[in-house]
Structure 1
Amino acid sequence: MKKLFTILFLGIATASFAQSNEEQIKASINQVFDGMRKNDTTLIRQVLYPSCFLKSVVKTKTGEVKLQEDQIIDWLKSVGTKREGVMLDERLTSYDIKIDGDMAVAWTPYEFYVNDKFNHCGVNVFTMMKTDKGWKIIGIVDTRRKDDCKK
């Protein structure tokens, strides 16, 4: 009986410390923005899949909607360049995560601040894949706008 109690206790204790897939996905996404605030691209790269893509749905001045494709390496260089007195801070306002086995998507509305001053808002869509090293971001698509932001 004592052995059974010990096994049950250890099982419950382990389950309470283990993160759910949803918590792991949130942690990977949050690591990107923690790295961005710190200008730490090493932190960001830890959660990016090597062939990760970065795209934006943008509206031109004439109102035409286009898909802008950016190289992740260029974005990382920009994030990693510390500008004295400048802090970039993307604040996620919620998460809507859908998981199917080893694939997930996360819809994350955000507000973007430069030195605590509101700059723009939008939505990120993260496409994720579960690997033996955790949940990795395989793609990011975002929108950006200055109007119709709920603050």
Structure 2
Amino acid sequence: MTKEIPPQPLTAAAFAPFGEVLEATGDFRLINDGWCQRHHDRAVLDFGPDGRAGISVFQAKPRALPYSFDLIERHPEGSQAFVPLSQHPFLVIVAQSPDHTPLAFLTNGQQGINFRRGTWHGVLTPLHAPGLFAVVDRIGPTPNLEEVRFTESWTVIAP
């Protein structure tokens, strides 16, 4: 049996228990002789005592709604930020724990996200090609991935 969840729009308030929304809204300061708005310090990056920041580029195959999943993961040693390299919406799945009902968020195509250290989340789920993302996460000497499968699949339905 598949359980259904509707996606909700990604907002900073709704996503706050899991991390930060990265977007060019709200307060800013002008830089570059007034040609650029700097929306400053948008996420708390946490790489633990023995980690460092790394920037990777991920290319994920696009998925479609309805989207079924049974796998979530977390990174206990550090935060993980996803910044899309194209202006296409993507799906963000999070859960308080593997025992809780997951939530699904749909970005507006101009948002990235930062998962706090230890946040349970779904895999990278672009909804359009090319599925390219800059990812800022922990590089370190110890494993930083835990995966869990739900006993039943969840399906994110079309909004």
Superposition TM-score, scaled by structure 2 size: 0.27
Q: Higher relative CO (CA 8 A, sep ≥ 6), structure 1 or 2?
A: 2
Structure showing greater radius of gyration is: 1
Superposition TM-score, scaled by structure 1 size: 0.28
